[in-house]
């Protein structure tokens, strides 16, 4: 696609954002400099009825849902940057729905036959209407010739073309923001957009997802907390994925929790343990464990579907997690600080002792207290300050782990409101700490304490992460909004000049 076409599509997107007052939302007016406020108010003259409903994050999510797969993916990534945009905004964005009307069954048939290179009848006895349709793919129930029920995921026809076009728009927006708005550079818009595009590209080859499902399925089978469907490799192609049908009820259906014989406590424990065992023992975890991807059966069986996003923790990261836990536990802040420098999380030009002092400020108030008594607001503010002051670059894998942990804890608590993630984590964490930190004896004494400390640490992990070396000060959200707003103001002006000039 030519730059000009990408340009006009970007202008179009800017216009939709302005209509919903999702670009420089009125909520941030108080923190804008006067000139920007004037510009924002001027743009707002064009806002439509959608602009009056909901919080800014909700309005933006609503717009992104209509703008196609790349915008949806970008929204999902933005929702992980609470460090920049603030927690409520990130939270609203994370509820963005990736649901579209399905494409017709006939088209799905054609797509399946082309991708697999064989007539449908040679593999499937029956293929039904889709049960779910998203921006990239939809899922059909089907039956193999041997009678087994399967789920067939099929990419949307023409989706590659759409994604290529959208990617060009995203790249243009990032390049313009980078060039025209100095404040935006701190967000590294080009890098951010490349990460989004890379994720989209991977999701457009379902063989990759099939491999992820098979690999993680083996890992899950080792301790049976949860299971994965079996991959039917004959039914896998670039655009088609065939998995055995997940038995049980979808957890997204509230009625599922009233299944006779369901042990809600055991079920919640299985989900928490399953996730932690994957991540800590195997360094490979399902990173999209929301209700829509989980199927349950009595008494406490869990099947996870959707292996589009898989997190990987190298042995270095797993050891790092254990070390941090151990260090906080001993209040050995110098040791934790050193680990951060050794791992390269904090650039070497910073002062180790000062970093240790900052860690002490975070660690000390937590210990000896029930995590519920710890002020999340204060903790957040302190962590933001540390990341800002020390340019701490958390590795993306750790951020993904932390984000999934929050999701898992939410799911488990909705299943069993009395769920104690710390108690549930106990057997898995014990195993992991003992293995990662030797000599064993030294560690054993600390294991109980370590579990207590983990409670506090996982609370810490619930705080928004910094995914890259990019760190914004607390004024970050207004700057980010201002940068985007200024960009679109310029674009709209240019567009106007072309149309009217």
Ligand X SMILES: Nc1ncnc2c1ncn2[C@@H]1O[C@H](COP(=O)(O)OP(=O)(O)O)[C@@H](O)[C@H]1O
Task: Give me the residues that bind ligand X (CB under 6 A), please.
Answer: 131-132, 134, 137, 139, 151, 153, 229, 243, 245-246, 250, 292-293, 305-306, 308
CB of 94 to ligand X, least distance (A): 14
Q: Are 408 and 304 in contact (CB under 8 A)?
A: no
Select 256 or 443, whichever has its Cβ closest to Mg ion.
256
Element (H, E) at 301: strand 301-304
Known catalytic membership, residue 128? no
Strands, E, within 55-155: which ranges? 124-127, 132-133, 137-144, 149-155
- The answer to whether the Cα torsion of 278, 280, 285, 288 is positive or negative is positive
Select 269 or 306, whichever has its Cβ closest to Mg ion.
306
CB of 213 to ligand X, least distance (A): 9
Q: Which does 429 bind (CB under 5 to 8 A by kind): Mg ion, ligand X, none?
A: none
Which of these, 315, 289, 318, 314, lies nearest to 304 by C-alpha position?
289
Select 308 or 476, whichever has its Cβ closest to ligand X.
308
Which residues on adjacent β-strands are paired with residue 240?
Answer: 154
Stretch that binds Mg ion, among 162-170, 194-202, 264-272, 301-309 (CB under 5 A): 301-309
CB of 292 to ligand X, least distance (A): 5
Which residues on adjacent β-strands are paired with residue 127?
Answer: 142
Q: Which does 132 bind (CB under 5 to 8 A by kind): Mg ion, ligand X, none?
A: ligand X
Report the residue count for the chain.
Answer: 501
* Residues 6+ away with beta carbon under 8 Å from 377: none
Select 72 or 456, whichever has its Cβ closest to ligand X.
72
Select 285 or 326, whichever has its Cβ closest to ligand X.
285
Q: Return d(Cα 137, Cα 298) in angstroms, integer.
A: 30
In this structure, the number of other CB atoms found within 10 A of the CB of residue 389 comes to: 15
Q: Return d(Cα 475, Cα 452) in angstroms, integer.
A: 34
293 binds Mg ion (CB under 5 A): yes
CB of 161 to ligand X, least distance (A): 19
Stretch that binds Mg ion, among 70-78, 305-313, 405-413, 493-501 (CB under 5 A): 305-313
Q: From the centroid of its chain, how far is CA 300?
A: 26
CB of 209 to ligand X, least distance (A): 8
Q: How many residues bind Mg ion (CB under 5 A)?
A: 2
Segment 19-38, which members bind Mg ion (CB under 5 A)?
Answer: none
Q: Return d(Cα 181, Cα 435) in angstroms, integer.
A: 49
Vertex 433: Cα angle to 427 and 438 (nearest 5): 140
**Binder of Mg ion out of 249, 269, 306, 317 (CB under 5 A):** 306
Select 209 or 436, whichever has its Cβ closest to Mg ion.
209
Q: Which does 236 bind (CB under 5 to 8 A by kind): Mg ion, ligand X, none?
A: none
Q: Are 230 and 217 in contact (CB under 8 A)?
A: yes
> Any alpha helices (H) in 103-181, and if so which ranges?
105-116, 159-180
CB of 130 to ligand X, least distance (A): 8
Report the interface residues with Mg ion, using CB under 5 A.
Answer: 293, 306
């Amino acid at each position: 696609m030519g730059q000009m076409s990408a340009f006009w599509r970007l202008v179009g997107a800017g216009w939709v954002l302005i209509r919903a007052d999702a670009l420089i939302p009125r909520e941030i007016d108080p923190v804008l400099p006067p000139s920007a406020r004037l510009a924002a108010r001027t743009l707002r003259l064009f806002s439509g009825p959608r602009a009056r409903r909901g919080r800014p994050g909700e309005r933006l999510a609503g717009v992104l849902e209509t703008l196609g797969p790349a915008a949806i993916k970008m929204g999902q990534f933005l929702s992980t940057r609470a460090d920049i945009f603030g927690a409520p905004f990130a939270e609203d964005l994370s509820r963005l729905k990736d649901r579209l009307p399905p494409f017709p069954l006939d088209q799905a048939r054609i797509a399946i036959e082309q991708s697999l290179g064989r007539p449908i009848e040679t593999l499937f006895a029956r293929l039904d209407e889709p049960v779910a349709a998203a921006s990239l793919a939809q899922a059909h129930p089907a039956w193999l010739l041997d009678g087994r029920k399967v789920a067939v995921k099929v990419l949307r026809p023409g989706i590659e073309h759409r994604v290529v076009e959208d990617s060009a728009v995203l790249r243009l927006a990032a390049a313009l923001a980078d060039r025209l708005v100095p404040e935006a550079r701190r967000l590294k818009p080009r890098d951010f957009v490349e990460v989004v595009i890379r994720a989209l590209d991977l999701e457009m080859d379902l063989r990759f997802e099939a491999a992820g499902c098979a690999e993680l399925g083996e890992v899950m089978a080792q301790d049976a907390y949860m299971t994965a469907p079996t991959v039917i490799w004959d039914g896998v192609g670039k655009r088609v994925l065939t998995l055995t049908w997940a038995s049980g009820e979808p957890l997204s259906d509230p009625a599922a929790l009233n299944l006779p014989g369901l042990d809600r406590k055991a079920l919640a424990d299985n989900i928490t343990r399953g996730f932690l065992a994957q991540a800590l023992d195997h360094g490979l975890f399902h990173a999209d464990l929301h209700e829509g991807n989980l199927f349950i059966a009595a008494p406490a069986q869990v099947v996870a579907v959707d292996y589009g996003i898989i997190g990987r923790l190298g042995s270095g990261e797993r050891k790092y997690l254990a070390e941090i836990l151990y260090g906080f536990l001993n209040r050995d802040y110098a040791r934790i600080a050193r680990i951060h420098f050794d791992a390269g999380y904090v650039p070497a030009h910073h002062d180790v002792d000062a970093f240790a002092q900052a860690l002490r400020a975070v660690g000390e108030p937590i210990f000896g207290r029930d995590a519920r008594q710890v002020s999340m607001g204060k903790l957040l503010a302190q962590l933001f300050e540390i990341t800002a002051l020390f340019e701490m670059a958390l590795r993306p894998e750790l951020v993904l782990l932390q984000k999934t942990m929050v999701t898992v804890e939410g799911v488990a608590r909705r299943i069993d409101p009395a769920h104690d993630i710390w108690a549930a984590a106990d057997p898995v964490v014990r195993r992991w700490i003992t293995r990662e930190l030797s000599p064993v004896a030294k560690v054993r004494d600390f294991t109980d304490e370590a579990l207590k400390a983990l409670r506090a640490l996982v609370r810490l992990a619930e705080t928004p992460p910094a995914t890259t070396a990019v760190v914004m000060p607390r004024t970050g959200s207004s700057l980010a909004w201002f940068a985007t707003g200024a960009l679109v103001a310029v674009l709209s002006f240019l567009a106007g000049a072309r149309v009217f000039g």
